[in-house]
Structure 1
Amino acid sequence: MNNENRDEYIIKKYQQDELIMVQLFVQWCMNYDRDPAELYQRAYPGQLLSPVLTEAIEQSDIEPLEVDHHTLLEILQLFGNDDLAFVVSEEIEKL
């Protein structure tokens, strides 16, 4: 595999993993009757909702899945979404 193909593969793999992370976040929000867009805006005020998040919200009713608190927090932090993980942890304390 040459460098260009390897770079494309790495970028595509990261984007796929990021999509899964966003889907898990949205599913957790739906499971606990939270608004994913509102939580995202609290974590990142002033930023527009990402198209990936918007699409995940629109498709959230397709397949219900249990997502536990600890797993979601670890996944968010793995992708560097520490601010969102903090907001989610605040919501967990309210449950």
Structure 2
Amino acid sequence: MVLVFAQWCVNHGLDPEELYRRAYPRQEKNLLLKKAIERTLPKEEAGDISNDTVLNVLSLFGNGDLAFVVFEEIQKFHSKSK
């Protein structure tokens, strides 16, 4: 789940740690997230991860707060493209 989230962020030019901090401001650094970020590929080499996929995975694993932050970013993408 964490790697899917981190790769989605990289694919969209977003900082996964910053989004995670927005969702969980009281938590300390997430070592699992840091390791996942180290395993991400450059955007050009990575496969596409759809918005629906990342939202579903986050929800499935009980990360509703993070899914909400991701949804906000998706809304920003859509408002910029109009």
Give ranges in structure 1 of 5+ residues lacking alignment: 1-20
Q: 2: CA distance between counterparts of 1:23 and 1:94?
A: 22
RMSD: 1.3
Hey, which bits of structure 1, 4+ residues long, moved more than 3 A?
none
Aligned: 1:69 with 2:51: yes
Q: 1: CA distance between counterparts of 2:29 and 2:49?
A: 22
Q: Which has the higher contact order (CA 8 A, sep 6+)?
A: 2
- Structure 1: which amino acid aligns with 2:69? V
TM-score, L = length of structure 2:
0.85
Q: Which has the larger radius of gyration?
A: 1
Identity rate, percent? 52
Give ranges in structure 2 of 5+ residues lacking alignment: 78-82
Normalized per residue, which structure has more helix? 1
**1:10-65, CA deviations, whole angstroms, 9 ceiling, x for partnerless residues?**
xxxxxxxxxxx100000100000000000000000020122110001112127612
Aligned residues: 75
